[in-house]
Structure 1
Amino acid sequence: MELKKLFSTILLLTAIPCTLFAQPSVTGDTRFARGATMAFGRIKSISANGGPAIAKRGFCIAENPNPTVDDSVSTKMLSSNGTIYYFVNLKPATKYYMRAYATNQSGVTGYGDVIKFYTLPKGNVTYWYNNGGDDAANTRINNALTDACNIFSNLTSIQKKFNVGYSAGTPTADCYYDDEPWMNMGANSSYQRTGTIMHEMQHGLGVIPYTTQWNKNILRSGLNGDGNGTGYWLGDRVSEFLDFWDNTTGSRLNGDYQHMWPYGINGAHEDDGTLKTYYANAMIGQALGEDGLEHRSNTFAEPCYLFDQEDNVKYYLKNESDERGLYTSYLTLTNTGALKWKTMSSAEVQQNDSAAWYITFTPDNQYYQFRNVATGKYLTYSSAFMLMNRETITNADNFHLMKGRVDVGSGSQAKRGYWLIHPTGNLTPNCLQANANGAIGSATFNIANTATAQRWLILTASEAEQIEANLVEDIKQKTTDVLSHIKPLAEVPHTERVEGANQAFADAISSIESRIASSNNITELGTLTDEATTAALNFLSGVSPTDLSKPFDLSYLLINATLDSNSDGWSVAATISYACAEFYQKTFDFNQIVKNLPAGNYQVGVQAFQRPGSAADAYTAYNSDNDNVTVFLYGATKAKKIKQICAEMQTRKLGGNESTIGGNKYVPNNMEAASIYFKKGLYQNRVTTSVAAKGGQLKMGLRTTKMDNSYWAIFDNFQLYYFGDVDPDNPTGIVEHQVKQQTADTWFDMQGRRIQQLPTRSGLYIIGGRKVIIK
């Protein structure tokens, strides 16, 4: 009988469909958000995978690397272009692992990929209120302030106290930026709510028209007429959050000088009372700080877990600047233990533990530590960067990592560098910088994209190999691009000043092109761009143009000469639109320094004009003896006024918003119209200057010390032309001269005879070796 029962049981089990045991298929979104005590995730897709229907779904979380539904789970959700699941009451400053799950009706659970993250240290946003309103107003305001402070404290690491006063004369509410900001609450009950108070708190956190990055140019896409930051916020942390929260891609936070969209809650009409809006506002505040917004006068940015490290993995550091070893070198130690960036390949660096680093992270302060593998010593900063033995980590060994906003390499293997910043309790901390000739030093943190010498790629062994292979193609393309600019120099009509200059240039180009085609050695290829620019320098130093209408065009040496979308490469930011740049009622010195130039004469050019005042004022000035132009185009010590707007007024409209002057003439009245005029070739300006020695540099740009009411300057298309030893303003070498009383024995006629007395009539003479026309 027992055998018969066993046989029956086997038959029953084999009759159960295998689909009952099918595991659901779960794909979680790799994007997520986290605060101090909360975390958020999305599920991309769930499939029953041929099994029973899905009964439960959500997220599970744990402090171990493989969370399951036996750990903590959450089915809390809110709606934002799909479903966001979230956890509450997490431990601050703690490493967590979470993943999506789905359980079918048979109790079988499937999981998505694990996401590792650290919660933030718990924020401490508090308030003091003077209770100056009536009982109802005080209750509303206290409740709203409590809610706002709790949301900020649980979703951010921000430390801030707000002092709040009731002010019946305040139309809505306002708040100032300070370490302990003052907020005024008016009598309008629509503004005595959680969301509108959070909006005011954002002003106290730096979203204001003052001196924070919100008002500056580096992290904003433009400037308004008062010189305040406006337009898109360019920091990636905010964009990454918005992409997740709105379930989209390519997000940018927009704003003016003191408002932001979306989730800025810019008035009672935007306070919808939802957790979606309130949570987003707080987490945008945190992300703004992680991007570089100064929440306090002693915090240049909020530290957080950005580089995803593992404690026992060896990492290798490569500087982001191509002049500081991007293509050739890694950070390592010398025989004496000093830091240095040194030429070595990815294969060589993996055999050299002096160039390897263990990286750890401290959740309580959100700082990283770097320990050299060969020596066991920690990277530390105390007036300089050095290595030290440590039994216990000190503040000197802590580094705030900020991620760069520019890709290094291309395609799927592109990487981002990091600033390694020592937090010093002020807005100008020091960071690790690669200097010339392999040297390592400290520099004041510069948040600009152009500060490549301050940023470091942090790579595993396999990533070092990948980035090296990627950079091989990158440097080949870069060198090819350089050659595309310098090869046409040989086609400019010219004569040799140094015998063999043409052949040497041709040989150098041929050698570089041959190695591009045949070599994949990054160490060899890493020198090619320098070789190409040196070949161009030597060539130009040995020739002069013979047709002054066709000089050597060196505009390719300028960074961002056409100002298509930003002010990168230039000393200050201008407002950029329609691929041109402007300043309005604001003085400026907009320049860049071009280096490694041949000696000789140059012309600096730009399309530009100034409108001194209104269009009518400019027209009146133009017809007087003083055109009122205050902007100068300059190169080195030479400067020349740019054209006044009326200098090239038109008798018919060209397009855009134009002003009518003089009854029937037209000039541009906005950036769009100016760009149209520029495209027609109008408003060209040039100034002649020179560089004294081979390998010298030239500072060039536009400047003014006076921009009165309605003064407008706009420009585009900078140019740089080289004329060798010929002066483009005086190609014959003949100058006009008014006869003045001087010694006669320095004068010669064209036959070389010394003139015994001063010339009494006009003619061509030689004075001090120069041909001079005497009038």
Structure 2
Amino acid sequence: MKIYLNALLQKNYVLFFLIVGLFSCSEDSTVDNVPTEPEVSEDISIASLSINTPIRIAAHSVLLSGEILNDGGGSVTERGVCFSLNEGATIETGHQIASLVRGSGEFETEIQGLEDGEDYYLKAYAVNEKGVGYSEEIIISTPIANPPVFENDRQAVAGAHDVFFYVNLLETGEGAIEEIGLVWGENENPTLEDHVEINEDLSQSYLQRISGLDSETTYYVRPYAQSRGNIIYGDQEQITTIKPGNFTFWMQDVPTNADQETIDAYGRIRAAFESATNYYNNYTSIEKHVTVNYSPGTPTADGSFSGNIRVGTNQGYQRTGTALHEMAHTVGIGTHNVYWDLMNGSWEGANAPRILKVMTAGAEATVSGDGTHFWPYGINGAHEDTGEEMLYIIHAMIMQGFKLDGLPSN
């Protein structure tokens, strides 16, 4: 009996270990089965996409769009735009998921919280089973939140070969002004890549002269300022240089029996009118021919609308300022009905006051006068003739304003 029981137990132990071994060696056993990620099909590739020109750029945000050109044969689970202050933006440097997705593959993303006055590098991105695909990289510049502000109300006047522009910075903004000036050219919206006139003194209100221009040619001019490393442009002004004037004079040659005082007087008077007609021909479109006479019996000088000018022996009146003043009389100042109609204590035409305001950098905007003379810059007497070039230029340009307001030349 005892022998039988031992044999039975031995058989049961063998059976037990066979069963355990059977299950432990089974291919279906879960004892040592570790989950693994599904394999990505070798047919799937990283998505390809493009990024478009930004729809809107503000001081602290940008709205732009991208487009998935090819999903790579996989499922796109995320798309958007990544950004960085340095070249080589990735989703690790910063990204924003698309807020609008279209069936065509296009999507829009708005990135907020940007710093103003900074350059950002942007790429569109898309994620599929293969990984992250990126578009080409673009650069944007966020504007300054509170930029400098220029006055933009018709700030330019033109001669035949010069343009004068009144630069007036109304607000400097939050940063210091690092550079200020004008850009100009024959194409709209000139930039620093075109012609540049820099104001070295960093003046916030000044008159800038641009010289060497072609007559009867349209130019585009606008002020600019640099602040915090950013360039801010004011509104452009379109200005056309005028047709050159054709003001000529005839003066008798020095008499053969003249003494030295007379010879010298003739020389001074001729030089004065050569200089004065040069100013009229460069800064007005006035056409007139006058006769200039040396007249020892004339106390100072005088001129008439008929074109006759007399200059006396007083050397203070044998200068450019007097020549300009008398030439003004020959084209209607104090000698024509249009002048008397428009000069009622102050000039009622629009152009002469506007020119005065620009040429004096906003200091004066009223051309005053009586029945004979105008002021300021009328050079009404030898005591007002300082000999300064800008005095002569402003006088001539005011005369151009009178002409534009209807004062006839002949």
Report the Cα distance in structure 2 between the residues aligned to 1:208 and 1:283, rounded to whole angstroms.
18
SS at match of 2:407: coil
Q: Which residue of 2 aligns with 1:99?
A: 222
Matches within 5 A, 1:409-488: none
Matches within 5 A, 1:626-705: none
Mapped contact 1:20–1:52 kept (Cα < 8 A):
no
Match of 1:212 among 317, 337, 345: 337
Residues 20 and 294 of structure 1: CA distance in aligned 2, closer, same or farther (over 3 Å): same
Match of 2:387 among 261, 266, 273: 273
Q: Which residue of 2 aligns with 1:38?
A: 162
Report the Cα distance in structure 1 between the residues aligned to 2:277 and 2:318, rounded to whole angstroms.
14
Q: Which amino acid aligns with 1:171?
A: P
Residues 109 and 77 of structure 1: CA distance in aligned 2, closer, same or farther (over 3 Å): closer
Deviation string 1:342-401 (CA, Å, 9 cap, x unpaired) is xxxxxxxxxxxxxxxxxxxxxxxxxxxxxxxxxxxxxxxxxxxxxxxxxxxxxxxxxxxx
Residues 185 and 249 of structure 1: CA distance in aligned 2, closer, same or farther (over 3 Å): closer
CA-CA distance at 1:28 after TM superposition: 4.0
Match of 1:128 among 250, 253, 259: 250
CA-CA distance at 1:153 after TM superposition: 1.1
Q: Which amino acid aligns with 1:148?
A: A
Report the Cα distance in structure 2 between the residues aligned to 1:61 and 1:238, rounded to whole angstroms.
24
- Any stretches of 5+ residues in structure 1 without a counterpart? 1-8, 222-230, 297-775
Mapped contact 1:37–1:88 kept (Cα < 8 A):
yes
Matches within 5 A, 1:60-209: 60-75=183-198, 82-103=205-226, 108-132=230-254, 134-178=262-306, 181-209=307-335
Matches within 5 A, 1:280-291: 280-291=394-405
RMSD, aligned CA: 3.3
Report the Cα distance in structure 1 between the residues aligned to 2:244 and 2:200, rounded to whole angstroms.
22
CA-CA distance at 1:274 after TM superposition: 2.3
Q: Which amino acid aligns with 1:122?
A: P
Deviation string 1:671-725 (CA, Å, 9 cap, x unpaired) is xxxxxxxxxxxxxxxxxxxxxxxxxxxxxxxxxxxxxxxxxxxxxxxxxxxxxxx
CA-CA distance at 1:190 after TM superposition: 0.9
Mapped contact 2:117–2:228 kept (Cα < 8 A):
no
Match of 2:352 among 238, 247, 251: 238
Identity of matched residues, %:
35
CA-CA distance at 1:84 after TM superposition: 0.9
Q: Which residue of 2 aligns with 1:653?
A: none
Q: Which amino acid aligns with 1:200?
A: E
Mapped contact 2:157–2:239 kept (Cα < 8 A):
no
Q: Which amino acid aligns with 1:169?
A: G
Deviation string 1:586-633 (CA, Å, 9 cap, x unpaired) is xxxxxxxxxxxxxxxxxxxxxxxxxxxxxxxxxxxxxxxxxxxxxxxx
Report the Cα distance in structure 2 between the residues aligned to 1:220 and 1:19, rounded to whole angstroms.
51
Report the Cα distance in structure 1 between the residues aligned to 2:302 and 2:182, rounded to whole angstroms.
40
Mapped contact 2:207–2:361 kept (Cα < 8 A):
no
Q: Which amino acid aligns with 2:250?
A: W
SS at match of 1:100: strand
Give the alignment's TM-score, normalised by structure 1.
0.32
Deviation string 1:154-203 (CA, Å, 9 cap, x unpaired) is 1111112232122222211111212xx12212221111221121111100
Residues 194 and 69 of structure 1: CA distance in aligned 2, closer, same or farther (over 3 Å): farther
CA-CA distance at 1:233 after TM superposition: 2.4
Residues 109 and 270 of structure 1: CA distance in aligned 2, closer, same or farther (over 3 Å): same
Q: Which amino acid aligns with 1:292?
A: G
Residues 193 and 266 of structure 1: CA distance in aligned 2, closer, same or farther (over 3 Å): same
Residues 70 and 157 of structure 1: CA distance in aligned 2, closer, same or farther (over 3 Å): same
Mapped contact 1:77–1:83 kept (Cα < 8 A):
no
Residues 76 and 200 of structure 1: CA distance in aligned 2, closer, same or farther (over 3 Å): farther
SS at match of 1:66: coil
Deviation string 1:245-302 (CA, Å, 9 cap, x unpaired) is 3455994322222211111100011112223321221111111111121211xxxxxx
Q: Which residue of 1 aligns with 2:367?
A: 253
Deviation string 1:38-68 (CA, Å, 9 cap, x unpaired) is 211122217665556513x222221111112
Report the Cα distance in structure 1 between the residues aligned to 2:315 and 2:199, rounded to whole angstroms.
31
Q: Which amino acid aligns with 2:338?
A: Q
CA-CA distance at 1:127 after TM superposition: 2.3
Residues 48 and 183 of structure 1: CA distance in aligned 2, closer, same or farther (over 3 Å): same
Which of the two has higher C-alpha Rg? Answer: 2
Mapped contact 1:238–1:253 kept (Cα < 8 A):
yes
Residues 168 and 69 of structure 1: CA distance in aligned 2, closer, same or farther (over 3 Å): farther
Residues 10 and 18 of structure 1: CA distance in aligned 2, closer, same or farther (over 3 Å): farther
Report the Cα distance in structure 2 between the residues aligned to 1:138 and 1:105, rounded to whole angstroms.
60
Mapped contact 1:123–1:158 kept (Cα < 8 A):
yes
SS at match of 1:214: helix
Q: Which amino acid aligns with 2:385?
A: D
Residues 251 and 26 of structure 1: CA distance in aligned 2, closer, same or farther (over 3 Å): closer
Report the Cα distance in structure 2 between the residues aligned to 1:90 and 1:77, rounded to whole angstroms.
22
Report the Cα distance in structure 1 between the residues aligned to 2:325 and 2:291, rounded to whole angstroms.
15
Mapped contact 1:195–1:273 kept (Cα < 8 A):
yes
Report the Cα distance in structure 2 between the residues aligned to 1:89 and 1:201, rounded to whole angstroms.
26
Mapped contact 1:208–1:214 kept (Cα < 8 A):
yes
Mapped contact 1:205–1:285 kept (Cα < 8 A):
no
Q: Which amino acid aligns with 2:334?
A: I
Mapped contact 2:299–2:314 kept (Cα < 8 A):
yes
Q: Which residue of 2 aligns with 1:263?
A: 377
Residues 35 and 25 of structure 1: CA distance in aligned 2, closer, same or farther (over 3 Å): same
- Any stretches of 5+ residues in structure 2 without a counterpart? 1-85, 94-114, 120-142, 255-260
Deviation string 1:518-566 (CA, Å, 9 cap, x unpaired) is xxxxxxxxxxxxxxxxxxxxxxxxxxxxxxxxxxxxxxxxxxxxxxxxx
Report the Cα distance in structure 2 between the residues aligned to 1:42 and 1:220, rounded to whole angstroms.
26
